[in-house]
A and B are shown apart, each in its own frame.
Chain A
Amino acid sequence: MSITKYRTLKDVPKEEFLVAGTPLCAGCGALLVIRLFHKALGGNVVWVNAAGCVTLMATFPYTPLRSSWFYTAMSSAPAGAQGIRDALDILIKKGKLDPAENLKVVVITGDGAASDIGLQSASGAIHRGLDFFYLCVDNEAYGNTGFQASSLSPIGSGTATTKPTHLYPAGNVLPKKDLFEIWRSHRPPYVATISPSHVVDMLRKVEKALSFKGPKLFLALCPCPTGWGIEPSESVQLARLAVETGIWPLKEAVYGEVTHTHIPSKRRPVEDYLKVQRRFAHLFKPIKNEAVIAEIQKQVDEYWSKVER
């Protein structure tokens, strides 16, 4: 890491851009990520949103944000960011707008919008080198509509559309898309994974991203108490478990060059993460599905064997 102003948790900026009273669920991991991410971003931000849970943060006549917010549509928040960025640029260039009025343009979507319906729009914006942030709050399903599977739902998870049955004992049988790699393949200046449990790591990454012009893309694993079947109080713990089991690698890629920012010295077994969540309960009861658990462990081990080599 280069020189950073974030060394310990004491360095977390005190200014709040998000106030209380949102209608989001208690213990929402996404809300915590947004709050901390915004602290590192600082002020003068416009959030550009696609349909998802966080859309409900701002519903007429209330908003929890002290920053601007623009809800666009489910599939085209990055295009919405393009319009805002370009409009600000041309107005400033033509002298119609004081540069002090400029804003950081930040797309915020869930995993469904990011990996499914809005992937085309994101790809277009990244390809064009749009100067923007993208924060994907990944709770691994379509949470706002009742937790149906998205293409970022992990294998073995039960969702409203991948319920475990005797024909499908594993629940979701499709692999989680590697959105980090999809984004990275465009060679943007900055891509990173973050976790609400690893706050200093998150703040440093935002800090670093602020030094680049162009697409700066963040994928945050966001525990979802209602969808994952955990207590709201366990939200941050689950995020931490995901990192410690190696399921959620913390990494960044600068112009495509990948660095792992946190390599767990001894990875905990994935079972520790899986068994505490209702969405994986069918892997343990009534009989333990050793094969699926072993497959998940194998994928994690294979991933890290390449990292550590």
Chain B
Amino acid sequence: MHGRVSEKSDKNGEGDHMVLKMLTGSQAVAWAARLARAEYIPAYPITPQTEIIEILSEWVRKGEMEAIFVQMESEHSLLTAAGTAAATGARVFTATSSQGLLYGFEMLYSIAGWRAPLVLVNVARALAAPITLEPDHNDVLAARDSGFLQFHAESVQEALDFVLLAYRVAEDNRVLLPAIVNIDGFHLSFTRERVDLPEQSTVDEFLPEYKPVNPIRASEPVAKGIPVLIPPLYSFFKYQMHMASRNALNVFREAAKDFEKMFSRSYATVEEYMLDDADTVIVMSNSFAAVGKQAVNAMREEGRKVGLLRIRLFRPFPTDDIVKSLRGKKCVVVVDQNISIGKGGIICPEIAEALYHLEDRPKVILPVIAGLGGKSISLEEFRHAVRVAERLASLKAGPDGPLLLFREDEAMLVDSLLKIASGG
């Protein structure tokens, strides 16, 4: 770490040249876009993404960023413009959230299929209906199969760093796929944390200029996005995208090595927390992993050998690193902060599939649903989940469905509110 906390930082986190700042997640990703020299920012407001685009529009209007900021008429349009601009050769940054991501959903697959690299920050917010504001990950995980790379941030620092890493990986000609950086609404977007703000010159060194493939130019006409009506050809192009995404694993590792050299922060595809001697491992992603770590600390104090594995890079899925971290463990508790209705969590089956063929695979993989719509997860809930997993292991039994973490005080609250709603 170098530098010190800035003495003053105004609303937008602007100020002097101090490298340590207290920034919200929104400010941090806006700074990342600025440092990456993003030159095109199509936007459409949605809570809780708005602060990001407000900051960027102001910087562009003040001439502090040499970029075009354009407010579109919808997320569908903003993603279309983002994709065609990236295909034309501009470095594109944009942000949305929740309903907005779903409104533009069609274009996620299109942008990825165009092989147009750009960075989209998703400020996670649970999906309607019922409509709500606080986060879970059904929005970002809906984009799971689109071809976008996915980075899931736990902290404001990671939010900033992942945007830079995302550009570096997405634009690499072994990859050429767009990327989503997910930051949890409110818990990261509106929460100030200490952030080491990189120097522009170092970022310039880390992030080479974007070199588009077959950009649209007068001298070299090209037809893009055109129908592929021949099934083997379609199959071929789709699988090329998959291989490009798999390439992104090593491209990310390379980039992370350079990043560590330049910025002294090191990122693997997953974070291992107290895993070495752990019998039971909680698997999480995004900002709520912090409370998971807190629970691990508490259980460690109680003498339980519990650890936590956090997924940073969700697409491409870092199967090898997950296997390395989880093989030989007794129990795995996958805390999915999302729900695939009629099945359970989205991440748990992916973990289970990664481990299935190992001889030393965990005895129990417990699917847990928690934190939907921003519902808090208490220590007791984590403790309960770990207890259930360990009991199943001792009984040599498997779970009979996902375990929903829900507390007595919450059940009472629900009951009282239902009474008001029904007038009874």
Contacts and interface: CB of A to CB of B under 8 A. Distances in A.
A and B touch in the complex (CB under 8 A): yes
Interface of A: 43-44, 46, 48, 55-56, 58-60, 63, 65-73, 75-84, 86-91, 93-94, 96-97, 100-103, 120-121, 123-124, 127-128
Contacts of B90: 86-87, 90-91
Interface stretch (B218-226, B316-324, B348-356, B370-378): B218-226
B39 A76 contact: no
A127 B92 CA distance: 22
A46 B219 contact: no
A73 B72 contact: no
Contact of A71 (B72, B227, B229): B227
A234 B129 CA distance: 53
Contacts, number: 159
A88 B88 contact: yes
A114 B87 CA distance: 24
A78 B78 CA distance: 11
Contacts of A68: 216-217, 221-224
B82 A100 contact: no
A100 B39 CA distance: 20
B40 A46 contact: no
Contacts of A80: 80-81, 83-84
Contacts of B77: 76, 78-79, 82, 120-121, 124
B360 interface: no
Q: Which 9 A-B pairs have the closest CB atoms?
A: A124-B73, A83-B84, A83-B81, A79-B77, A87-B88, A83-B85, A87-B90, A87-B85, A76-B80
A94 B39 contact: yes
A100 B84 contact: no
B312 interface: no
B229 A79 contact: no
B67 A73 contact: no
A101 B233 contact: no
A67 B42 contact: no
Contact of B74 (A58, A63, A120): A120
A43 B219 CA distance: 10
14 contacts: A69-B224, A71-B225, A72-B110, A72-B225, A76-B77, A76-B107, A81-B84, A83-B82, A83-B85, A86-B42, A86-B70, A86-B90, A90-B40, A91-B89
Q: Which of A44, A63, A68: most chain B CB closer than 10 A?
A: A68
A68 B67 CA distance: 25
A84 B42 CA distance: 12
A60 B227 contact: yes
